[in-house]
Amino acid sequence: MAMEKFIKHTGTAIPLRRSNVDTDQIIPAVYLKRVTRSGFEDGLFAAWRNDPDFVLNQPQYKSGTILVAGPEFGTGSSREHAVWALQNYGFKVVISSRFADIFRGNSLKGGLLTVILPQEAVEAIWTTIENDPATSITVDLETRTVSYGSTTIAFDLDDYTRWRLMEGLDDIGLTLKHTDAIDSFEAKRPAYKPKTLPIRI
């Protein structure tokens, strides 16, 4: 799937003061039955959203596009629906001090920018946006920084991923440029490697 280019995003942020936010919380399994990539926003944090005090239900955080979460965000299943649910809801960026590997891979493939900041920086953003929910935050991929007010924090992202996101490049298209290399690798694969077809029972 082609994706939108990500160069820079400015928006308001939502504090999610929880650690170990797993994929079953981001989107419970009962919401995974759609066969499209859209419409998953209704399942986002479905169980927690029943609570009127949950942060996403608070009017001052209605229009947030940056989610600022506790450590180990996205642990659990490989469901990319977790990324789609966040994107369908309107999130462009998730900030945390640690992400689960598969979730992070999925997010960066799908154009949802996951930014790793030290826990102290996350806490500082939490305090700022709790004091003033209208605080405008800019996440800039060009300079690899998160900034708000007079604060600017740098984050790491490898050059290759950054380039892909900034160009909005589709991984499959990139790989297909190396079809020759795949062909020659296949030509050398040993014959004893299993095949699913023809079916043997």
CA distance 48 to 34: 21
Judged by CB under 8 A, which of 41, 49, 54, 71 binds other proteins?
71
Q: Which is nearer to other proteins, 10 or 49 (CB)?
A: 49
CA distance 106 to 166: 16
Q: Does 101 bind other proteins (CB under 8 A)?
A: yes
Judged by CB under 8 A, which of 9, 49, 109, 144 binds other proteins?
109
Q: Does 171 bind other proteins (CB under 8 A)?
A: yes
Q: Does 187 bind other proteins (CB under 8 A)?
A: no
Q: What SS3 string covers 98-158?
A: CECHHHHHHHHHHCCEEEECCHHHHHHHHHHHHHCCCCCEEEECCCCEEEECCEEEECCCC
Q: Is 158 left (phi over 0), alpha (psi -120 to 50) or beta?
A: beta
Q: Which is nearer to other proteins, 134 or 187 (CB)?
A: 187
Q: Which is nearer to other proteins, 131 or 192 (CB)?
A: 192
Q: Does 134 bind other proteins (CB under 8 A)?
A: no
Q: Does 96 bind other proteins (CB under 8 A)?
A: no
Q: CB 91 → other proteins: shortest distance, Å?
A: 17
Tell me the residue type at 13. Answer: A
- Strands 137-140 and 145-148, bridge-based pairing: antiparallel
Q: Which residues of 54-84 are buried (b: 16+ CB within 10 A; e: fewer)?
A: ebbeeeebeebbbbbbbbbbbbbbebbbbbb
Judged by CB under 8 A, which of 12, 77, 96, 128 binds other proteins?
77
Q: Which is nearer to other proteins, 136 or 175 (CB)?
A: 175
Please tell me what DSSP assigns to residue 94. Answer: E
CB atoms within 10 A of CB 122: 23
Q: Which is nearer to other proteins, 12 or 77 (CB)?
A: 77
Residues that bind other proteins (CB under 8 A): 1, 18-20, 22, 24-25, 28-30, 32-37, 47, 70-72, 75-81, 83, 98, 100-102, 105-106, 109-110, 158-160, 171-172, 174-176, 178-179, 181-182, 185-186, 189-197, 199-201
